[in-house]
Amino acid sequence: MKIYDISISYYRGIEHLENLKFGSVNTFVGKNDNGKSTILKSLDAFFNDKFTTHDVYKGIPDEAKTSIKIRFIPSEGISPLALDNEGFICITKQYSFTPAGKLKKEALYTCNDFVQENIQNCWGVKEAEINGYLDTLEVDYSRSGRGVTNLSKIIKIQENTEGYQKSLNTYLADEYLKNISKQYPDIKIPDYFLFDAEQDLNVGATEFQNQFKPIATKSLEDNRALTDQIESNVQSDLDTEFTIIANLMKKNVPDLEEIKPQVNCNWKNLVKFDIGLKFQSESFDIPISHKGTGFKRLLMVAYFEYLAQKNSNGNTIFGIEEPETFLHPELQYELLESILNLADDSQFLITTHSPVFAGATESTNIVVVKKQDGLSKYFNYENENYILDVVIQELGIRPNYNLLNDNYRKIIFVEGKGDCLFWQCAINKLSTTNIDDILFVPCGGDQVEFFVNARLCSKINRNFIFILDSDKGATDYESKLENKVQLKSDIEEMGGEFLVLRKREIENYYHRDAIQRVLGDEFTLTDDFIIDNYSDMKEEIKSKILAVKQMNFKAKNNMEVFGEMTESEWLEAGFTVSEGVTDLQEIIDVIVK
């Protein structure tokens, strides 16, 4: 479940901010002290209760409260009575302080609810009240029994209230959050991790160590016989020594019979660890404390990936302040690649001065932060058409100068590095044309870097094509389709061609037989492993292969599978658009002509 937008009132330097939209990767750019980090900190307050008196807007009116409202995109279809008028889960958290300085917090939810008061707030009440609503509506229902849940009763209310007038209402969220969690186990509020500029990079820090406590705890449980033996030995040794002490005391306390020590081993707090690094070119381990700050930041990237993978509900949001700090530009690209890969299932909010990170962000998800009359203001592509020029000027984003090389007769823009390799592999298998004079550039989607490069191609009259995944089957397909329509118009206006795959994404072009050959005898695919046109194949591989057996097999951008595929398998994997012709062949014909 990802954030759709955020609204904030009276938080730090923000007086009012309405419906700032987020995508998968979002970057905040602007001068220092303009308020880039304020959004990241506000999320820490919302998700992790990190809120102090210093977070209250200095000019807050009497009786007003600091308010942070987040609307989430549901990860599955849920009752419309639990959603606002645009179909989002809408949660607001309010903060204030008593005269004595004690923090007061409350959570609210907003839904598109009935105007009729005696059937309002279905998702925020207990079962007895839902029963009362059904009685009010004179609807026959079972109070209990097999298959009878609050959800089934609310569905009955929905079915018997068609045409009833509705309006946006806000209620306390305590029961709402419990009911949603119970009726929709896969709907969970995301976890939020903030990696701020002052983050303690020491692995001995409590925040870092605590993430690995479950591993140590499970290990101790698995070795319970050993820990029991240790406790027994310690108890025996203490009994022996205190028997000696008791005998000495009996001289002054004749009626003392024994002193019995009680062993209490707190195994959970026993384990702490440090990290040593062994490199191929070195003979000894090196403590990570001896490595530079930039290297520690790379460890934190892997740590983020670990958190995202171990998060059982698949909901993780990361806030990162200035990830480029201490990193060589080449390592910035490596870090960016990790973030983009993680962004399929997670969400990132990044403050940055780096053209690397801003350039790789979709233009709709770049926010320029400015100070106006002492207040932080946030501007994005949707409300300021000149934002691309502002970002380019602010950060100095430059085009790929390979575009000026006359050895290339055509430029192919694709979404990522994996797409470059995918098309090169497909062309090698399905065409005999030499493509040394074609430049593939990973510059995906609606990214600022793409527009910079496309403008250069237009200016120098260089032929260029943009190839995009169809994204059919994705939960946010409708919004992506709208973006495609606008992107197609922009590209054609600049003189380029716009092409779209028929299947969801390149992973839907895997061939089952090639996957099995890559897996070898280590794992046999079951009949329920299916490759179709629009399903999420990365999740299919994770759930049907990697969840069954741990192995080194990439779910996304697995070039070993594409390289293994034969010509006939490439033909079978394509989407048939006419007799004997697939979408891959059609696009390749356009690329190589």
| Max avg pLDDT among 148-162, 282-296, 300-314, 500-514 | 500-514
pLDDT number for residue 476: 75
Strands 276-277 and 286-287: antiparallel
Q: Rounded distance, CA 203 to CA 325, Å?
A: 18
The pLDDT value given to residue 7: 96
Give the side-chain half-sphere CA count within 13 A for 557.
Answer: 13
Cα 479 from chain centre: 18
Q: What is the pLDDT of residue 445?
A: 61
CA dihedral for 51, 56, 62, 63, sign (positive or negative): negative
Q: In which band, very low, low, confident or very high, does the pLDDT at 202 lie, cut at 50, 70 and 90?
A: low
Cβ(456)–Cβ(403) under 8 Å? Answer: yes
Q: Domain residues of the chain, as ranges?
A: 221-269, 398-593
Tokens of 183: 């009726």
Least confident stretch, 119-133, 214-228, 526-540, 564-578: 214-228
CA distance 545 to 462: 44
SS3 38: helix
- pLDDT value of position 312: 46
Residue 69 CB-half CA count within 13 A:
20
Percent of the chain with pLDDT over 70: 90
pLDDT value, residue 142: 85
Mean pLDDT over 22-31 rounds to: 88
Confidence of residue 103 (pLDDT cuts 50, 70, 90): very high
